[in-house]
Amino acid sequence: MRHIISILVMNEFGVLSRVVGLFSGRGFNIESLNVAETTDPSVSRMTIVSGGDEKILEQITKQLNKLVPVIKVYDFTDEAHIERELAMVKVSATADNRAEILRIIDIFRAKVIDVSPASYTVEVTGDEDKLEAMLELLRPFGIKEIVRTGRIAMARSPKTARSARTRTKKKNTGG
Protein backbone atom coordinates (compact mmCIF):
# COMPACT_ATOMS: atom_id res chain seq x y z
CA MET A 1 0.00 0.00 0.00
CA ARG A 2 1.21 3.48 -0.86
CA HIS A 3 1.39 6.02 1.98
CA ILE A 4 1.69 9.80 1.81
CA ILE A 5 3.19 11.03 5.05
CA SER A 6 3.58 14.69 5.94
CA ILE A 7 5.96 15.53 8.76
CA LEU A 8 6.39 18.92 10.41
CA VAL A 9 9.96 19.20 11.69
CA MET A 10 12.24 21.83 13.16
CA ASN A 11 14.18 23.52 10.36
CA GLU A 12 17.62 22.35 11.53
CA PHE A 13 20.56 20.62 9.91
CA GLY A 14 20.64 16.85 10.24
CA VAL A 15 16.86 16.43 10.60
CA LEU A 16 16.46 15.07 7.07
CA SER A 17 19.14 12.43 7.57
CA ARG A 18 17.56 11.29 10.84
CA VAL A 19 14.11 10.92 9.27
CA VAL A 20 15.46 9.13 6.21
CA GLY A 21 17.56 6.92 8.49
CA LEU A 22 14.38 5.65 10.14
CA PHE A 23 13.01 4.54 6.81
CA SER A 24 16.22 2.91 5.63
CA GLY A 25 16.76 1.25 9.02
CA ARG A 26 13.43 -0.55 8.60
CA GLY A 27 14.08 -1.41 4.96
CA PHE A 28 11.25 0.89 3.89
CA ASN A 29 11.79 2.45 0.46
CA ILE A 30 11.07 6.15 -0.10
CA GLU A 31 9.44 6.73 -3.50
CA SER A 32 9.62 10.50 -3.25
CA LEU A 33 10.64 13.07 -0.69
CA ASN A 34 10.08 16.82 -0.60
CA VAL A 35 11.19 19.27 2.04
CA ALA A 36 10.46 22.98 2.24
CA GLU A 37 10.11 25.72 4.80
CA THR A 38 6.58 26.49 6.04
CA THR A 39 5.10 29.91 6.82
CA ASP A 40 7.15 29.67 10.02
CA PRO A 41 10.85 29.73 9.00
CA SER A 42 11.77 27.61 12.02
CA VAL A 43 9.53 24.76 10.77
CA SER A 44 9.81 22.66 7.60
CA ARG A 45 7.39 20.21 6.08
CA MET A 46 8.54 16.89 4.64
CA THR A 47 6.26 14.95 2.34
CA ILE A 48 7.32 11.34 1.99
CA VAL A 49 5.68 8.82 -0.32
CA SER A 50 6.43 5.24 0.51
CA GLY A 51 4.96 1.83 -0.08
CA GLY A 52 4.66 -0.93 2.46
CA ASP A 53 2.44 -2.68 4.91
CA GLU A 54 0.55 -1.01 7.73
CA LYS A 55 2.60 -2.59 10.55
CA ILE A 56 5.91 -1.25 9.29
CA LEU A 57 4.40 2.18 8.69
CA GLU A 58 3.04 2.18 12.23
CA GLN A 59 6.53 1.40 13.58
CA ILE A 60 8.08 4.16 11.54
CA THR A 61 5.41 6.65 12.61
CA LYS A 62 5.99 5.80 16.27
CA GLN A 63 9.74 6.25 15.82
CA LEU A 64 9.23 9.55 13.97
CA ASN A 65 7.10 10.86 16.83
CA LYS A 66 9.96 10.08 19.23
CA LEU A 67 12.46 12.22 17.31
CA VAL A 68 12.94 15.57 19.02
CA PRO A 69 12.98 17.69 15.82
CA VAL A 70 9.65 16.14 14.69
CA ILE A 71 6.64 18.27 15.63
CA LYS A 72 3.77 16.31 14.01
CA VAL A 73 3.29 13.35 11.69
CA TYR A 74 0.29 13.13 9.35
CA ASP A 75 -0.70 10.16 7.24
CA PHE A 76 -2.88 11.26 4.33
CA THR A 77 -3.45 7.71 3.11
CA ASP A 78 -7.06 7.45 4.30
CA GLU A 79 -7.77 11.18 4.56
CA ALA A 80 -9.34 13.51 2.00
CA HIS A 81 -6.43 15.42 0.55
CA ILE A 82 -5.09 17.20 -2.50
CA GLU A 83 -1.84 16.06 -4.03
CA ARG A 84 0.25 17.45 -6.85
CA GLU A 85 3.54 16.84 -8.56
CA LEU A 86 5.61 19.10 -10.79
CA ALA A 87 7.62 17.91 -13.78
CA MET A 88 9.85 19.69 -16.26
CA VAL A 89 10.23 17.85 -19.53
CA LYS A 90 12.66 18.65 -22.33
CA VAL A 91 11.26 17.23 -25.56
CA SER A 92 12.75 17.25 -29.04
CA ALA A 93 10.91 19.63 -31.35
CA THR A 94 11.37 20.05 -35.07
CA ALA A 95 9.62 22.36 -37.50
CA ASP A 96 7.38 19.46 -38.49
CA ASN A 97 6.17 18.49 -35.01
CA ARG A 98 6.15 21.74 -33.02
CA ALA A 99 2.43 22.36 -33.56
CA GLU A 100 1.54 18.84 -32.42
CA ILE A 101 3.65 19.17 -29.28
CA LEU A 102 2.06 22.53 -28.46
CA ARG A 103 -1.40 20.99 -28.85
CA ILE A 104 -0.52 18.24 -26.34
CA ILE A 105 0.88 20.83 -23.95
CA ASP A 106 -2.35 22.83 -24.22
CA ILE A 107 -4.55 19.78 -23.57
CA PHE A 108 -2.71 19.10 -20.30
CA ARG A 109 -2.69 22.77 -19.28
CA ALA A 110 1.08 22.67 -19.20
CA LYS A 111 3.28 25.51 -20.37
CA VAL A 112 6.45 25.97 -22.34
CA ILE A 113 9.12 27.49 -20.10
CA ASP A 114 12.06 27.37 -22.53
CA VAL A 115 12.51 27.11 -26.26
CA SER A 116 15.56 26.20 -28.32
CA PRO A 117 15.92 25.48 -32.04
CA ALA A 118 15.71 21.74 -31.31
CA SER A 119 13.53 21.44 -28.19
CA TYR A 120 10.81 22.70 -25.88
CA THR A 121 11.09 22.55 -22.12
CA VAL A 122 7.65 22.09 -20.62
CA GLU A 123 6.35 22.55 -17.07
CA VAL A 124 3.36 20.47 -15.99
CA THR A 125 1.67 20.04 -12.61
CA GLY A 126 -0.99 17.58 -11.51
CA ASP A 127 -1.47 14.14 -10.12
CA GLU A 128 0.70 11.24 -11.15
CA ASP A 129 -1.81 9.95 -13.74
CA LYS A 130 -1.92 13.31 -15.54
CA LEU A 131 1.87 13.55 -15.69
CA GLU A 132 2.21 9.98 -16.91
CA ALA A 133 -0.45 10.51 -19.59
CA MET A 134 1.32 13.59 -20.93
CA LEU A 135 4.72 11.88 -20.88
CA GLU A 136 3.26 8.96 -22.81
CA LEU A 137 2.07 11.33 -25.56
CA LEU A 138 5.37 13.24 -25.67
CA ARG A 139 7.56 10.13 -25.69
CA PRO A 140 7.27 9.48 -29.47
CA PHE A 141 8.74 12.95 -30.15
CA GLY A 142 11.84 12.13 -28.10
CA ILE A 143 12.05 13.11 -24.46
CA LYS A 144 15.58 14.34 -23.75
CA GLU A 145 15.28 14.87 -19.99
CA ILE A 146 12.72 14.74 -17.17
CA VAL A 147 12.91 16.28 -13.70
CA ARG A 148 10.08 15.49 -11.25
CA THR A 149 9.44 16.75 -7.75
CA GLY A 150 7.54 13.80 -6.38
CA ARG A 151 4.25 14.35 -4.63
CA ILE A 152 3.26 16.99 -2.15
CA ALA A 153 -0.04 16.78 -0.29
CA MET A 154 -2.36 18.95 1.78
CA ALA A 155 -5.55 18.12 3.69
CA ARG A 156 -8.73 19.22 1.96
CA SER A 157 -10.30 22.40 3.24
CA PRO A 158 -11.40 23.29 5.94
CA LYS A 159 -8.76 21.04 7.51
CA THR A 160 -5.27 22.36 8.03
CA ALA A 161 -2.08 20.57 8.92
CA ARG A 162 -2.90 21.06 12.58
CA SER A 163 -6.36 19.48 12.34
CA ALA A 164 -5.54 16.56 10.01
CA ARG A 165 -5.44 13.08 11.48
CA THR A 166 -2.22 12.62 13.37
CA ARG A 167 -0.44 9.65 14.73
CA THR A 168 0.84 11.07 17.95
CA LYS A 169 2.76 9.61 20.85
CA LYS A 170 -0.41 9.67 22.95
CA LYS A 171 -2.34 7.62 20.40
CA ASN A 172 0.51 5.17 19.86
CA THR A 173 1.11 4.45 23.54
CA GLY A 174 -2.47 3.42 24.03
CA GLY A 175 -3.11 6.39 26.34
90 pLDDT exceeds 50? yes
Q: What pLDDT shows up at residue 161? A: 59
Q: What pLDDT shows up at residue 159? A: 59
Instruction: Say which residue, 56 or 169, is predicted with more confidence.
Output: 56
* Of the ranges 15-19, 24-28, 57-61, the best mean pLDDT one: 15-19
The Cα-based distances of 93 to 64, 90, 112, 138, 144 in angstroms read 46, 9, 12, 10, 10
99 pLDDT exceeds 80? yes
Distance CA 104, CA 137 (A): 7
Q: What pLDDT shows up at residue 160? A: 60
Alpha-carbon radius of gyration of the chain: 19
Instruction: Say which residue, 16 or 175, is predicted with more confidence.
Output: 16
pLDDT tens column, 143-167: 999 999 999 998 886 656 555 444 4
Stretch 26-48: mean pLDDT: 92
Residue of 115, 69, 66, 70 lying closest to 93 (CA atoms)? 115
SS3 content of the chain, % helix, strand, coil (to 5): 30, 40, 30
Angle between helix axes 54-66 and 15-25 (nearest 10 degrees) is: 150
169 pLDDT exceeds 60? no
Q: What pLDDT shows up at residue 17? A: 92
172 pLDDT exceeds 50? no
